[in-house]
Chains A and B, each alone.
Chain A
Amino acid sequence: DVKVTQSSRYLVKRTGEKVFLECVQDMDHENMFWYRQDPGLGLRLIYFSYDVKMKEKGDIPEGYSVSREKKERFSLILESASTNQTSMYLCASSFTGGNQPQHFGDGTRLSIL
């Protein structure tokens, strides 16, 4: 079974802090994704990576950056956390191909105070 592991289930940080969310997958997937999930808005793509050190912006990249130094690990960085970044963050991974499903981690519920 594919395993996508997010480092924290719950996280509380303060405004202005630099926040790191980590994600690891064990299936040698080329692609990795970061989403945020908010009530009534569904899932929105923040960034994705199609190879090591390669990244592309998703629909809502403002206020975020990412890092992918190794194939299995994809980090989401909130450069200076703000209260409007309080949300559920979901990581996913997949093989390349239009019919390849994405496999999700259990999510990190992040609160910015």
Chain B
Amino acid sequence: GNSVTQMEGPVTLSEEAFLTINCTYTATGYPSLFWYVQYPGEGLQLLLKATKADDKGSNKGFEATYRKETTSFHLEKGSVQVSDSAVYFCALSDWGGTASKLTFGTGTRLQVTL
């Protein structure tokens, strides 16, 4: 079946540091890939997505490129802020014939300090 593997957290960075959160996946077919972010006490928000190989999703300074050859979708940001502290989830879509279901990674907590 499909699966998503994320790097273990927590990740602790100083403000303005470079961020990478690794995500690799196993899937049949050609899934779409997503990054979601969950701020404390809230639900998940879509951060960015990519729907085919070599697509780059971007939003709020975050980027991720759909790499089919390495089955990866790593999240990057050039300069993190304290307000980026949250839990980040990588996910892939799976068309089940009736609806697209998402398979999530276990999440990576990011803590950014001054």
Contacts and interface: CB of A to CB of B under 8 A. Distances in A.
Interface of A: 4, 30-31, 33, 40-43, 45, 48-50, 54, 56, 58, 90, 92, 94, 96-107
B93 A99 contact: yes
9 contacts: A31-B100, A41-B106, A43-B102, A48-B99, A50-B98, A94-B99, A98-B32, A104-B44, A106-B43
A101 B46 contact: yes
A106 B104 contact: no
Contacts of B99: 30-31, 48-50, 56, 94, 96
B98 A103 contact: no
Interface of B: 31-32, 34, 36, 41-46, 49, 51, 89, 93, 95-96, 98-102, 104-107
B30 to A, nearest CB: 8
Given A98-B95, A99-B51, A99-B93, A58 B46 contact: no
B49 A105 contact: no
B78 to A, nearest CB: 24
Contacts, number: 66
Contacts of A43: 44, 89, 102, 104
A90 B107 CA distance: 15
A12 to B, nearest CB: 17
B43 A97 contact: no
A48 B101 contact: yes
Given A90-B43, A106-B43, A100 B106 contact: no
B32 A99 contact: yes
B100 A100 contact: yes
